[in-house]
Structure 1
């Protein structure tokens, strides 16, 4: 049984309405129709429940589980409105990785890089979701003070947890601000001290970056020691990882070279040793991945007690159709939606002989690179994501499926929670990314050696090929996957990140950092063209949603987007 904080959230917040209103984000989740603070915070369990909501807000969508009709975001389709599903649309669908041809809620605009401030609900919901999570964190930070704990008679019971509760809330808030910095740039700033009627001030992108950075540095030693927190909660390694990611992108985000800092913190993640690379890449994405040591920060799902159509349930069901369960064990039976397909560019990143699906080898044990997890065996299935008339199509067999997410255990068995909802935890941070970040930082000028960078990349590739120390009986291991120093450059590393991290919500950020997002690097349906075409550089940022500009007329829209008069 998974020992996770998210379960306490479900029990504690049952019956509490937590509906988003942008004008009240800094005061949520309490209002006249909800439990008052003094009742919520009478017990330690109450505080734990609020902290749990801070975590759960990144993977669950409401109060009833699944699509129960009591969603967090008012007016949003609950199935669409979960954070990791929304981020897929912004970070993966808009790139060279995946196709989902639906036109609903602005998905086609994301696919084609043709969005604006009002034509893509999924962009607005992502913005709202991040601020909702910030609001929960601010709520806990307002109430979890020594003074309030003393006045409520809880200090003696909570004094050992008080520091880590606050540090974890500050970490989640810093993460949310880092993502707002990445996606939207200059955004409003709210914290636990923002007044109820105060109009939030818009910070510059640099100010948002520096706030998140300062928070992470301040709480480094207040987060629990590496490996000492309960599953699903963060520790110091997560803080180091997030700093490494922010520093790696600092040149893009704030025009400052922080590659040395990126290298330093990525190496701290690697050297700490509490989150070693998994022995088998494929096991990171299964229903029992709570046993996977590589995952630094999992967003926890459970098919019975933490249900969501917006979490990993989406990453299995949207990527498969019903007939695929007859070819291999998807873990969702015939419930596949048949939505998402791999773009040609993702397929072509792998060796052609690794791509094809073999019904006698459904795990791909005979492939060189075990990351090449594609479905190619459906009747009349082709690699191209267009039909015979060269048009975009919803036909699922126009394009290969991507099947690394499976709702089964390492033993290829359905987990006890069944196949209605998935039990795969989403690996938001994992160690292989730190290896690749460290290597990239060196290639961009950090003071590590070239041989060190090569070693980091080859470690990830050796695991992918399951050779050397990663070899396992019954699995092909005759090709090492290692490359030579002459082969390692930034272009190679960008492709390696694509193969290692496809669908894990990093691709748009990576392409922008490498200068290959808007121009000079095209893929299926970019700019609405079958083979892709360049787009305006304004698409390196998403627009501040029109609804937010209406509510707060002091905000300045990102360059290139229509300004509301």
Structure 2
């Protein structure tokens, strides 16, 4: 049984006064509610249950595109299916890399396969708007839960104590969105609950200023978050905040030009010694329909919840990730789904990271090869490129999930194995708080689960770590960020098929390490500065 809060995650209406500053940031992709009947007055909060409902909206916003699953989309310009936060993260983190390619020709989607995007790309605009929409909801929740407002409504002390934790979770989810914006677009405006409600041009901050904001928020909220493992499954606790802080520190050289590897190793040590435990189950259990209860959940620090009955998002979130990976001669029922969308496959160079394509020497190499060619000669042909069967809507014992159209499989946004890998990387990069022998032990624990050969201290190089992150975390929305940190995303030091728009792959320009600020965003807020190269 999954946590109860998600069962109400899209059944309530939006709140009056969502931060209209974002209208000026997004132009045509309006992040304000589309239906005037969805606006509610402050009387909404007279019901004590409303506070958790709004928190649920924030969590559900990571998966669904609107208040009715894919219907009634939160933002205009993309449908509710295309504008799902998780789906957009997959599109921008995986398609431009060696890990994935998609055969669809929707709008400007093909340019993400080839690193040839432009500021008019509607999927980048959707990603930008989706993140700011989440920020706007978090800001309004924080405005409505001040001590003064709670006192005026006569909220009792027990609920007030819960709301302290709710507020910290809202701040975390806001920081998570700012992290994604900083990572993808660099310098963006920062709006908080202290900003006025109404149309104005928020000031664009530098990437370093956004970094400092996220860092400060994650440190400050620690006192109010639930203790490690003390919250409901699927909700944030202190360990999740430490994990996100470790992530921004791991990429600090990219974001602010300063290495923070010692801080990464220290934080990962705290994460590893928390109540979360490495899941000593077959690797496939982590991505099965019952991964919230089959033992995999012990290492899930921040899962994005899915449920075939409670969250009716046919095109968003995990429904997209699994449906789009099915095609060719694959039997969709084997994946627990009602059909395949013939979209995403692995690129040839990624398959080569594994000892074989049959999951023999490494159980993580879950490729479907029957009728599929290794080379991708034609991007639009699903049988060009090996299919991926990592995520599956079937329970780990082989029994059926709740339904075949919307999966039950949770998406592990943060998990303990990544903390092992971050510790190892920070140590190799010179962290004074790391130990090579300890790092090798963590890597071998990961590899033992995968039934891959053990490594020695001499094997632990940066090139090995980048490859191992791919093998362990592929299709989990990390690859673009990882390749940039290692200097392998643009340029010619790492080439894969269709990089740069040619079949054999070619070098791309370094300015593409940052995505462009969407053109319609700049049109709506002319004070914004475009990133160099665009």
For the superposition of Structure 1 and Structure 2, which TM-score range results when normalised by the shorter chain? over 0.9
SS of 2:414's equivalent in the other structure is strand
**Change over 3 Å in CA distance of 1:385–1:17 after alignment to 2:** farther
Is the 1:21–1:74 contact (alpha carbons within 8 Å) kept by the matching residues of 2?
no
Partner Cα separation in structure 1 for residue 529 and residue 24 of structure 2: 20
d(CA) in 2 for partners of 1:221 and 1:275? 23
Q: Could you tell me how far 1:449 is from its partner in structure 2?
A: 1.8
Conserved 8 A contact 1:276-1:293: yes
Q: Structure 1 residue 395: deviation in Å?
A: 2.0
Q: Distance in 1 between matches of 2:18 and 2:140?
A: 12
Partner of residue 488, structure 2: 516
User: Does 2:17 match 1:12?
Assistant: no
Contact 1:50 1:140 (C-alpha < 8 Å) held by counterparts = yes
Q: Find out whether 1:338 has 2:338 as its counterpart.
A: no
SS in structure 2 of the partner of residue 10 of structure 1: coil
Pair 1:41-2:45 in alignment = yes
* Aligned residue number for residue 533 of structure 2: 560
Tell me if the contact between 2:368 and 2:389 (Cα under 8 Å) persists in the aligned partners.
Answer: yes
Root-mean-square deviation over aligned CA pairs: 2.2
Query: Residue 373 of structure 2 aligns with which residue?
Result: 382
Check if 1:542 corresponds to 2:528: no
Match of 1:476 in 2: none
The TM-score normalised by the length of structure 1 is 0.89
| Pick aligned residue for 1:288 from 287, 290, 298 | 290
Contact preservation (8 Å) 1:319, 1:338: yes
Shift of 1:30: 10
1:167-186 counterparts in 2 under 5 A? 167-186=168-187
Q: In 2, are the aligned partners of 1:332 and 1:407 still within 8 Å (CA)?
A: yes
CA shift at 1:315, angstroms? 1.3
Q: Supply the distance in 2 between the matched residues of 1:522 and 1:370 (Cα, whole angstroms).
A: 25
What are the ranges of 5 or more consecutive residues in structure 2 without an aligned counterpart?
A: none
1:434 partnered with 2:406: no
Q: How far off is 1:32 after superposition?
A: 5.7
Q: Are 2:290 and 2:394, in contact at CA under 8 Å, matched by a contact in 1?
A: yes
8 Å CA contact 2:328, 2:383 repeated in 1:
no
Deviation sequence 1:293-348 (CA, Å, 0-9, x none): 1111111111111122110111111001274127x721003x11111111001111
Q: Deviations over 1:111-164 (max 9, x none)?
A: 11011111x211000000000000110011000111101101113341220210
Taking structure 2 as the reference length, the TM-score comes to 0.94
Q: 2:477 is matched with which residue: 499, 505, 511?
A: 505
Deviating beyond 6 angstroms after TM superposition, the runs of 4 or more aligned structure 1 residues are 14-21, 24-27
Number of aligned residues = 523
Which residue is 2:463 aligned to? Answer: 491
Distance 1:559 1:24, change over 3 A: closer
The alignment partner of 1:160 has SS state of helix
- Deviations for 1:379-406, whole angstroms, at most 9, x for unmatched residues? xx211111xxxxx242221111000111
Seen in structure 2, the aligned counterparts of structure 1 residues 4 and 183 have a Cα distance that, compared at 3 Å, is farther
Q: Is the 8 A contact 1:286 1:406 kept in 2?
A: yes
Please list, as runs of the form range in 1=range in 2, the aligned pairs for 1:87-236 lying within 5 A after superposition.
87-118=89-120, 120-195=121-196, 196-236=198-238
The farther-off stretch of 447-456 and 297-306 is 447-456
Q: Distance in 1 between matches of 2:231 and 2:92?
A: 31
Aligned partner of 2:331 in structure 1 is 325
